[in-house]
Amino acid sequence: MRKCSLSTLDTLFQTLSEHATLYLPVDGEKGAEYKKWEQGVAMSNALNTVRSAKDFFFPQTENMMEFKTEGKQIEVIDTRSEHEDFILFGVRACDVKSFDILDRVFLSEPYDSFYANRREHGVIVSLACTRPSETCFCGTFGIDATAPEGDVTCWKTETDLYFQANTEKGKSLLASIEGVTEKADDKEVKKQQEQTKEILNKLPLADLKADNFGSGKTSEYFDDPKWAELSQSCLGCGTCTFVCPTCQCYDIKDFNTGNGVIRFRCWDSCMYSDFTKMAHGNSRLSQLERFRQRFMHKLVYYPTNNDGLFSCVGCGRCLSKCPISMNIVKVMKALGGNEDE
């Protein structure tokens, strides 16, 4: 384990940026967001960013290929390029866990070369939480906010920043900053972890359990009459899917530039009325069906197909951003029989 003084953060960031492009959470008008570090940019103290770190590996919109036509001849142009090496600094435990969920989707055969390229070139530096919010419930899914995963794990105390390498990428990164860090023990880190766990245990959702959900529960919940009431107020706006770090649905479209065609993909939402729309029509005609799809996927379908791993990391973004305050926690309590918790 190594550490550096908070007073030398700019020197640390300068050193990191000399090895790869550095991105870190920065305060903005609407909250914290990831931005490229340069002199004068200060790291945010916010609990989490408004949008998740997913954007760096699965961006909201990206070009896939181009087509040029001349008469009856069609030229297919591969627009892929090798991605820059980059460091994503200050990722919270919930968002780091989301990469495991996304990896199982995009790195399974046939793997997604766009996503894989970014994962290969990215180094994840996580940051342990010290001030969890009332909307946090990562512990429900077995995530430890005081010991996030990642290539390097960081802990921020009142005076210092501590580092621990977890992967070969992480070891290489720590080796590059040996000149601006020093060896340290984990005494202060353990002290901070204990203090944060005390806070986590007092949060409103500390006792929320996912035990009633998971693999093989489709028949138990699919026809539950509570879906009708739960979905009644849903606007179908898709806000929950766009702030979610684990949602991975996308659409592929063609855009005529007047001088050819650009094929691109963009995020889509299972909450939209045209989601899964095909020539014959839509397979989910009602908002109830679309609402059910989203939460069944998070709590039942995904764990059924992925060794019990839930497709939710308890980041709380959907709790704070839903305009009608309908979220996965309310669904879990209603269907799982814990409405009084």
pLDDT of res. 162 = 97
pLDDT of res. 280 = 63
Question: Which own/partner contact pairs does 55-59 have at CB distance under 8 Å and 24+ positions apart?
Answer: 56/23, 56/86, 56/88, 56/118, 56/122, 57/99, 57/102, 57/106, 57/115, 57/118, 57/119, 57/122, 58/102, 58/106, 58/115, 58/248, 58/250
pLDDT in tens, 205-262: 999 999 999 999 999 999 999 999 999 988 989 899 999 999 999 999 999 988 889 9
Hey, which residues does 22 pair with through a beta bridge?
87
Burial track 176-202 (b if 16+ CB lie within 10 A, e otherwise): ebeebbeebeeebbeebbeebeebbee
β-strands 31-36, 21-28 pairing: antiparallel
pLDDT in tens, 12-65: 999 999 999 999 999 999 999 999 999 999 999 999 999 999 999 999 999 999
Residue 164: enclosing H or E segment and its boundaries? strand 160-165
User: Is pLDDT above 60 for 186?
Assistant: yes
Q: Is the peptide bond before 148 cis (omega within 30 degrees of 0)?
A: no
When pLDDT is cut at 50, 70 and 90, the band that residue 80 belongs to is: confident
pLDDT of res. 278 = 64
Residue 126: enclosing H or E segment and its boundaries? strand 122-127
Provide the 8-state DSSP code for 3: E
What radius of gyration do the chain's Cα atoms show? 22
Higher pLDDT, 131 or 70: 131
User: Is pLDDT above 70 for 283?
Assistant: no
Hey, which residues does 182 pair with through a beta bridge?
3
Residues 297-324: what's their mean pLDDT?
95
Which of 131-135, 144-148, 233-237, 293-297 shows the lowest mean pLDDT across its residues? 233-237
pLDDT of res. 286 = 84
